[in-house]
């Protein structure tokens, strides 16, 4: 269905011109949600609101859903990020609300929330006449225009648009508008909850307001979730549900070449025997775990190709030397494909894999083919769609056979992932050693047959286990943590930062929870790079969505922009750090953390989640 509507990748979201839902109605809901801590209650508030929108103004449902999750379109569409800097927002608030910049800054140090400051400033501002109320449609379109505004005078255009909206803001509106512009609503409304609320609203609407049974609600929720995993685009999913009914979603919302799906992820494991215990009696395969960047390769019906990163970013321009059509076994009969691959730097002279660090020296955008010094080899390990037929609910063994039939590998350009199928501990150990000698990180062990071997988009699944040689001791994996603050360096490190405060991401509350201070593993060069990249993101006070303790505060706080991959000896309960505190009572922290590398391929919200930190902690042998 999606494919029939032209290039599906371009299908974003737009607001109707005659939007009927006032922004104030939405802000009242935000406010109620902010005052609630029960997730059930939050989902109910959100679901009731969405249902009322469906009844009053169906055309508004898509932009409103995006406003609720604080996004402006599908994740894979470029140019829709907000996250405006605090400097710009403070200046705009000061200019449009008649307060000096000094006053705003001083208040910000007290409150740490520009939204509340804007609301306060608007509340005491005398207005000559009552402005026309803002509609959700206007806000959505303006936010899109702000995000898309680029180039000369873009700053000015952004400021003008924000000022125009701020002048029309009443009551609570300024608070939520400013927070949306910062890309953080911070009301504890996670995208997961919006999806649940949306399915309930759509179902009730389909049943003409009759309360559906809880079994039906569960099925609807699963249908919407599955559809969204395959087609992560609210417009397509919502419109299809309205047109065909929720229960029919799985027939109409399926993998579509041109729309990146969220990749399946693996769980860590600490030893070969743990793997054997988990997969007891089942056939499994061990693949090399290549150390590069994930590349989801799409062949489109018009013969063009797109390569998407782990988080759905279009990276085609980064790899100009790759042409998937060169490797198709039967070009006349192969119209579309979706492959899951790892892109790895390749040494053409020695015919070997190069370490990840070499790949990371390549520019991310606009690479000209003549400038390619480090060539990339694709290692394909899965096929998700062939000639428009989704394969994700086929067993892995079958998908592998498809992969072998569909492609003609060329050494150093596109190869199939090396793999062995074995049940023997010795063979597994030898294969792991060989993978490491061949410049891989370790192995990916995957179930081959039955339902457990299906491809589960966006899920971190127990059916894929990663076995990373370096991390077999410790907690079994590295963590990717967000830099929240830094401490000034002393001695040799004077002039740069000497240590950093890191946090994991709580996916339920949308908050970053501190989990360690790190000062080990950095070269002098890296410290300089970090100083150059982080200092422009410094903010005068911690964000209101940082969960931290008052002791040992960093010298500088930052916007959440950068992730460090770190290793730790183990995890322990801590009075100072806050990771997992909401689910575990006390916070969990990393002991002896060590910096490995920057993770530029992940967004801050893709940091290791608090839930994962809790899992790591609980899987330690001495816990529980």
Residues classed as catalytic: 289
| From 64-72, 271-279, 289-297, 555-563, span contacting ligand ATP (CB under 6 A) | 289-297
In the shown chain, the binding pattern of residues 434 to 453 toward ligand ATP, with x for contact by CB under 6 A and - for none, equals ----------x---------
The minimum distance between CB 265 and ligand ATP, in angstroms, equals 4
- Angle between helix axes 154-168 and 86-97 (nearest 10 degrees) is 50
Tokens of 551: 């002791």
Residue recorded with tokens 């996916």: 507
Which residues does 100 contact at the CB level (< 8 Å), separation at least 6? 94
Query: In which region does residue 281 sit, left (phi positive, over 0), alpha (psi from -120 to 50) or beta (all else)?
Result: left
The minimum distance between CB 254 and ligand ATP, in angstroms, equals 22
Nearer to ligand ATP, 89 or 338 (CB): 338
Query: Which residues in 114-128 are b (16+ Cβ under 10 Å) and which e?
Result: bbbbbbbbbeeeeee
Residue recorded with tokens 């993770």: 599
- Angle (CA) 592-594-596 rounded to 5° is 165
Residue 454 makes contact with ligand ATP by CB under 6 A: no
* Cα separation, 447 vs 279, whole angstroms: 7
* Cα separation, 420 vs 49, whole angstroms: 52
The minimum distance between CB 118 and ligand ATP, in angstroms, equals 36
DSSP-assigned letters across all residues of 266-295: EEE-S-HHHHHHHTTTS-EEEEEE--SEEE
Query: Which residues in 339-359 are b (16+ Cβ under 10 Å) and which e?
Result: bbbbbbbbeeeeeebbebebb
The minimum distance between CB 137 and ligand ATP, in angstroms, equals 37
**Of positions 107, 310, 400, 594, contacts ligand ATP by CB under 6 A:** 310
| From 23-31, 134-142, 179-187, 285-293, span contacting ligand ATP (CB under 6 A) | 285-293
The minimum distance between CB 480 and ligand ATP, in angstroms, equals 6
Residue 411: which of 379, 441, 443 has the closest Cα? 379
Residue 475: which of 589, 563, 579, 575 has the closest Cα? 589
Are 2 and 232 spatial neighbours (Cβ–Cβ below 8 Å)?
no
Residue recorded with tokens 């009730």: 204
Q: How many residues bind ligand ATP (CB under 6 A)?
A: 14
In the shown chain, the binding pattern of residues 146 to 175 toward ligand ATP, with x for contact by CB under 6 A and - for none, equals ------------------------------
265-268 and 352-353 strand pairing: unpaired
Helices first, then strands: H and E counts in the chain: 20, 22
Query: How many other CB atoms sit within 10 Å of the CB of residue 557?
Result: 20
Residue recorded with tokens 């003609």: 408
Nearer to ligand ATP, 160 or 458 (CB): 458
By CB under 6 A, the residues from 343 to 362 that bind ligand ATP are: none
Tokens of 260: 């990146």
Nearer to ligand ATP, 206 or 340 (CB): 340
Nearer to ligand ATP, 179 or 294 (CB): 294
Residue 342 makes contact with ligand ATP by CB under 6 A: yes
Residue 465 makes contact with ligand ATP by CB under 6 A: no
Nearer to ligand ATP, 142 or 415 (CB): 415
| From 24-32, 124-132, 288-296, 529-537, span contacting ligand ATP (CB under 6 A) | 288-296
Residue 290 makes contact with ligand ATP by CB under 6 A: yes
**Of positions 175, 179, 289, 578, contacts ligand ATP by CB under 6 A:** 289
* Cα separation, 522 vs 514, whole angstroms: 20
Residue 266 makes contact with ligand ATP by CB under 6 A: yes
Are 63 and 214 spatial neighbours (Cβ–Cβ below 8 Å)?
no
Residue recorded with tokens 């799985």: 250
Nearer to ligand ATP, 498 or 604 (CB): 604
Residue 294 makes contact with ligand ATP by CB under 6 A: yes
The minimum distance between CB 394 and ligand ATP, in angstroms, equals 17
Residue 206 makes contact with ligand ATP by CB under 6 A: no
Residue 497 makes contact with ligand ATP by CB under 6 A: no
Note the helical H segments in 496-598.
Answer: 524-534, 581-584
The minimum distance between CB 492 and ligand ATP, in angstroms, equals 31
By CB under 6 A, the residues from 407 to 436 that bind ligand ATP are: 417
Give the chain's largest Cα–Cα span.
81
Tokens of 12: 């974003």
Residue 30: which of 234, 238, 184, 237 has the closest Cα? 184
Query: Could you say which DSSP state residue 586 is in?
Result: S
| From 75-83, 274-282, 283-291, 575-583, span contacting ligand ATP (CB under 6 A) | 283-291
| From 30-38, 53-61, 281-289, 553-561, span contacting ligand ATP (CB under 6 A) | 281-289
Residue recorded with tokens 């059930």: 40
Nearer to ligand ATP, 114 or 266 (CB): 266
The minimum distance between CB 444 and ligand ATP, in angstroms, equals 4
The residue whose Cβ lies closest to ligand ATP is 294
| From 157-165, 286-294, 300-308, 513-521, span contacting ligand ATP (CB under 6 A) | 286-294
Nearer to ligand ATP, 94 or 478 (CB): 478
**Of positions 113, 206, 287, 313, contacts ligand ATP by CB under 6 A:** 287
Are 33 and 188 spatial neighbours (Cβ–Cβ below 8 Å)?
yes
Nearer to ligand ATP, 288 or 497 (CB): 288
Nearer to ligand ATP, 311 or 561 (CB): 311
Nearer to ligand ATP, 182 or 287 (CB): 287
Note the helical H segments in 346-486.
Answer: 356-359, 396-406, 425-437
Which residues does 585 contact at the CB level (< 8 Å), separation at least 6? none
By CB under 6 A, the residues from 466 to 495 that bind ligand ATP are: 466, 480
| From 177-185, 188-196, 221-229, 287-295, span contacting ligand ATP (CB under 6 A) | 287-295
By CB under 6 A, the residues from 370 to 399 that bind ligand ATP are: 381
Residue 1 makes contact with ligand ATP by CB under 6 A: no
**Residue ranges that bind ligand ATP, judged by CB under 6 A:** 265-266, 287-290, 294, 310, 342, 381, 417, 444, 466, 480
């Amino acid at each position: 269905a999606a494919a029939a509507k032209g290039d599906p990748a371009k299908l974003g979201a737009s607001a109707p011109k005659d939007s009927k839902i006032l922004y104030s109605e939405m802000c009242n809901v935000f406010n109620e949600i902010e005052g609630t801590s029960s997730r059930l209650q939050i989902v109910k508030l959100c679901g009731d609101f969405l249902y009322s929108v469906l009844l009053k103004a169906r055309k508004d449902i898509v932009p409103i859903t995006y406003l609720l999750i604080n996004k402006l379109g599908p994740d894979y569409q470029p140019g829709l990020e907000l996250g405006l800097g605090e400097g710009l927002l403070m200046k705009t608030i000061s200019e449009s609300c008649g307060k000096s910049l000094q006053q705003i800054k001083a208040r910000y140090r007290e409150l740490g929330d520009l939204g509340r400051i804007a609301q306060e400033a608007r509340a005491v501002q005398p207005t000559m006449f009552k402005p026309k109320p803002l509609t959700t449609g206007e806000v959505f379109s303006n936010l899109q225009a702000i995000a898309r505004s680029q180039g000369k005078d873009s700053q000015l255009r952004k400021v003008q648009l924000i000022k125009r909206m701020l002048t029309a803001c009443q009551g609570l509106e300024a608070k939520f508008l400013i927070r949306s512009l910062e890309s953080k609503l911070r009301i504890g409304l996670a995208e997961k909850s919006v999806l649940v609320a949306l399915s309930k609203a759509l179902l009730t609407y389909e049943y003409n307001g009759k309360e559906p049974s809880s079994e039906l609600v569960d099925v609807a929720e699963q249908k919407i979730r599955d559809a969204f995993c395959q087609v992560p685009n609210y417009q397509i999913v919502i419109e299809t549900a309205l047109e065909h009914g929720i229960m029919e979603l799985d027939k109409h919302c399926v993998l579509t070449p041109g729309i990146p799906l969220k990749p399946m992820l693996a769980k860590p494991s600490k030893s070969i025997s743990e793997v054997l215990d988990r997969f007891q009696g089942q056939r499994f395969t061990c693949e090399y775990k290549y150390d590069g960047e994930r590349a989801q390769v799409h062949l489109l019906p018009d013969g063009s190709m797109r390569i998407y990163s782990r988080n759905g970013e279009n990276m085609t321009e980064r790899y100009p030397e790759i042409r998937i059509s060169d490797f198709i076994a039967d070009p006349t009969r192969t119209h579309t494909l979706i492959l899951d691959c790892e892109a790895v730097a390749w040494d053409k002279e020695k015919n070997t894999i190069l370490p990840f660090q070499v790949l990371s020296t390549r520019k991310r955008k606009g690479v000209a083919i003549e400038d390619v010094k480090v060539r990339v080899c694709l290692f394909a390990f899965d096929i998700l769609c062939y000639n428009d037929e989704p394969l994700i609910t086929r067993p892995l063994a079958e998908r592998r056979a498809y992969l072998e039939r569909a492609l003609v590998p060329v050494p150093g350009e596109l190869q199939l992932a090396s793999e062995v199928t074995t049940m023997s501990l010795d063979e597994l150990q030898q294969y792991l050693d060989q993978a490491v000698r061949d410049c891989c990180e370790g192995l990916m062990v995957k179930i081959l047959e039955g339902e457990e071997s299906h491809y589960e988009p966006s899920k971190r699944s127990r059916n894929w286990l990663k076995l990373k040689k370096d991390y077999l001791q410790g907690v079994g994996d590295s963590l990717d943590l967000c830099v929240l603050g830094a401490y000034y360096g002393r001695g040799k490190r004077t002039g740069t930062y000497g240590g950093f405060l890191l946090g994991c991401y709580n996916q339920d509350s949308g908050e970053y929870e501190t989990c360690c201070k790190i000062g080990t593993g950095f070269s002098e060069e890296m410290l300089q790079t970090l100083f150059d990249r982080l200092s422009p993101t410094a903010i005068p006070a911690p964000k209101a969505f940082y969960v931290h303790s008052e002791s040992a505060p960093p010298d500088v706080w930052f916007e959440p922009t950068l992730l460090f991959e770190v290793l730790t000896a183990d995890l322990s309960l801590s009075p100072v750090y806050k990771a997992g505190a909401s689910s575990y009572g006390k916070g969990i922290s990393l002991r002896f953390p060590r910096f490995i590398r920057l993770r530029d391929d992940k967004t801050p919200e893709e940091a290791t989640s608090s839930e994962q930190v809790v899992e790591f902690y609980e899987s330690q042998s001495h816990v529980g």
